[in-house]
Structure 1
């Protein structure tokens, strides 16, 4: 398979005119060449933080606070998840996963409620779909062992020291929510030496220092934070100190569109377009330990092909900026997963 056009090559997403050669599901070559295609070839997205079970209740809970919406065990989402049947939950998750794949998302890091059974729901939902979920179990050690790691709700919700040690011993991924409502749970989360933090809306100077000293990545979800009224993360300041990736968070509150998340983050933080695109691709793949997110030989062929001659993108003077701030689902010409 050969894909031609303007290729955003390598970890720096340098635009070149040329082609990508795909063999046996991997990128065999990226070649500079005179080509006639207007297509734009981008690494497929990695959505670095999702709660897809919440697909059963899209746009529920208008006007509720964050705790009323999602706090365990009796926030609205948890009550609705307990009430839903397995068939309802799996079907709703599958529709969201299908949409994600069709709009260029290759993988996601899913914080999966419901213990071992919740992990099984996710595997059932994604069966035969090309998108790759990195599932982090929640609530129990058994869920961690049944998945790719553990996704902790936050240090204010309990002591996760034992589960952190068990996850480390198992050689698996450990992520934790921190700094979403206020700064008070950030230091306890950092004390766990997590593989990554989620949200970090309210970091203080000491937290910035600790992030930089220990090189702990952060996944930000600015649209979700805005909707829940907790504020928005200081994306630029975080990116100056550590790796930052993007997630769409709760499917009850937000669409799983990485186009929307990337555009919002870029305009909110006014970061360079290439940096915003890295947050949606390279950085999420790095956190998840995936061999995608970059268009270069040896990487998995997970590609998003945009129509550079669409009414939306035609005439763009800066291709990377146009992809980040302008492109959307209507511009998708092909997804190679």
Structure 2
């Protein structure tokens, strides 16, 4: 299989005309050659932080403060999840997965509530079973970080901790390390009080870091601890916005869309918001939406080069929205959207 057009090649997303050849899920060639195709070929997105279980309750709880919305165990989200029918939850997640695929996401890192059963429900949604039959099997890849019980590591790809103020996660951290799996934790979302305790756990990555101060930034740099930022979510919950420039100067930063209850899982929207909010270049933002998230997950994708996974997003460069763009990377980050998607190769 091959696609032709203007390729955003390599980690710098250098625009070159040519074709990308994919065989058995791997990019086997990137050939620079003249082409008449208007397509713009990008790596498929890696959404580095999601909670898609609350797809059952989009836009619920408008105006509620963060703790009342999502804090375990009795925030609105958790009450709604407990009350929801399993098939309803699976079907709602499957529809979010289909939307994510249609908007160019090839991989997502999910903090999945509900312990082992929560992981099983998401796997049903991915497989098109258990209530997801009308949507069908999905091609998007999930990196599932289970929650709420250490035994979830038997069925999940890692553990996603709610935050150091909620519990002592030493046992879960040790278990993930022993299993060679990922450990991520929310930190610095409502204030800075849980940042140092989270860093003390030596996590594989942190999520949010809205309230990171200079000492926290120094610790991040010293430990080279990656951070996933979710600026749209932080704005909705009125906790502030992350210092993206300062974080990116010190460590790997990736983008996530966070709770489906609060925001659509669209990386187009997250990129545009981040690019217009922070003092970061379009290339930096596109890296945050692709290869940086893949790096956190230990995956060989998010960049178009030989040997990388063949996960591609093909945009219509002659759409009414993108035609005439003089800086393609900037156009992809700041103006492209679902209507510009021509094809997603997963």
Which residue does 1:169 correspond to in 2?
Answer: 178
| Structure 2 spans left out of the alignment, 5+ residues | 128-136
Match of 1:263 among 265, 272, 297: 272
Where 1:156 maps in the other structure, the secondary structure is coil
Counterparts of 2:261 and 2:34, CA distance in 1: 46
Give the unaligned 5+ runs of structure 1: none
Distance 1:95 1:187 in 2: 37
Report SS of the residue matched to 1:184.
coil
2:117 corresponds in structure 1 to: 117
What is the alpha-carbon root mean square deviation over aligned residues?
0.6
CA distance in 1, matches of 2:6, 2:286: 15
Structure-2 residue corresponding to 1:331:
340
Q: What's 1:49 paired with?
A: 49
1:298 corresponding residue in structure 2: 307
* TM-score, scaled relative to structure 2: 0.97
1:145 Cα deviation after fit: 2.2
> What is the CA deviation profile of residues 31-53 of structure 1, one whole-angstrom value per residue up to 9, with x for unaligned ones?
11111111100000000000000
Which residue among 188, 204, 229 is the counterpart of 2:213?
204
**Consecutive aligned runs of 4 or more in structure 1 exceeding 4 Å deviation:** none
- Indicate the residue corresponding to 2:133 in structure 1: none
DSSP 3-state at the match of 1:157: coil
Residues in 2 aligned to 1:93 and 1:24: alpha-carbon distance in whole angstroms: 28
Deviation at 1:103, TM superposition (A): 1.1
- Equivalence map 1:49-88=2 (5 Å): 49-88=49-88
Once residues 163 and 84 of structure 1 are traced to their aligned partners in structure 2, the CA distance between those partners, rounded to angstroms, is 27
Equivalences for 1:135-150 in 2 at 5 Å?
135-150=144-159
Q: TM-score, length-normalised on structure 1?
A: 0.99
SS at match of 1:109: strand
Shift of residue 22, structure 1, vs aligned partner? 1.1
Q: Give aligned pairs, total.
A: 337
Match among 146, 157, 166 for residue 166 of structure 2: 157
Q: Report SS of the residue matched to 1:91.
A: helix
Deviates more, 1:22-31 or 1:250-259: 22-31
Between the aligned partners of 1:330 and 1:163, the Cα distance in structure 2 is 42
How many angstroms does 1:160 deviate by?
A: 0.4
> What corresponds to 1:7 in structure 2?
7
Look up the match of 2:40. 40
